[in-house]
Amino acid sequence: MQNFEYYNRTKIIFGKGTETRLGKETALYAKRILLHHSGGHAVKSGLLDTVKASLKDASVEWVELSGVKPNPRLSKVYEGVDICKKEKLEFVLALGGGSVIDSSKAIAIGALYDGDVWDFYDRKKTARQALPVGAVLTIPAAGSESSISSVITDERGPWKQSVNEECIRPVFSILNPEVTYSLPLYQTACGVADMLAHIMERYFTREPHVELTDELCEGAMRAIIRNARKIAAGGERNYDARAEIMWAGSIAHNNLLSTGRVGDWASHAIEHELSALFDIAHGAGLAIIFPAWIRYNIKVDTPRFARFAARVWGVDGAFYDYEQAALEGVFRLKNFFRSIGLPVSFAEGNIDPARIPEMARRTVRFGAVGNYRQLNAEDVEAIYRIAAET
144, 227, 297, 345: which one binds a copy of itself (CB under 8 A): 227
244, 271, 379, 381: which one binds a copy of itself (CB under 8 A): 244
27 binds a copy of itself (CB under 8 A): no
256, 277, 377, 382: which one binds a copy of itself (CB under 8 A): 256
Residue 232: count other Cβ atoms within 10 Å of its Cβ: 18
Residue 16: count other Cβ atoms within 10 Å of its Cβ: 11
Cα separation, 225 vs 238, in Å, equals 15
For 120, list phi and psi in degrees, rounded to 5.
-75, -35
DSSP state of 380: H
251 binds a copy of itself (CB under 8 A): yes
Nearest alpha carbon to residue 287 among 239, 339, 362, 249: 339
Beta bridge partners of 267: none
Cα separation, 201 vs 223, in Å, equals 17
61 binds a copy of itself (CB under 8 A): no
Classify the C-alpha dihedral 119-121-124-127 as positive or negative: positive
28 binds a copy of itself (CB under 8 A): no
Window 87 to 126, contacts with a copy of itself (CB under 8 A): none
Q: Amino acid identity, residue 237?
A: R
Cα separation, 124 vs 305, in Å, equals 37
Those residues with Cβ within 8 angstroms of residue 356's Cβ, 6 or more apart along the chain or in another chain: 381, 384, 385, 388
| Minimum distance from residue 18 beta carbon to a copy of itself (Å) | 7
10, 138, 147, 363: which one binds a copy of itself (CB under 8 A): 10
- Crossing angle of helices 282-297 and 322-339, in 10° steps, is 170
Q: Return the number of the residue (209 or 299) whose C-beta is nearest a copy of itself.
A: 209
Cα angle for residues 79, 85, 87 (degrees, 5° grid): 95
| Minimum distance from residue 181 beta carbon to a copy of itself (Å) | 15
107, 108, 163, 243: which one binds a copy of itself (CB under 8 A): 243
324 binds a copy of itself (CB under 8 A): no
Q: Mask: binding to a copy of itself, 180-219, rule CB under 8 A, as x and -? A: ----------------------------xx-xx-xxx-xx
| Minimum distance from residue 4 beta carbon to a copy of itself (Å) | 5
Q: Return the number of the residue (76 or 261) whose C-beta is nearest a copy of itself.
A: 261
- Crossing angle of helices 282-297 and 377-389, in 10° steps, is 110
317 binds a copy of itself (CB under 8 A): no
60, 248, 325, 388: which one binds a copy of itself (CB under 8 A): 248
Residues in the site for a copy of itself, rule: CB under 8 A?
1-18, 177, 208-209, 211-212, 214-216, 218-220, 222-224, 226-227, 239-240, 243-244, 247-248, 251, 256, 259-260
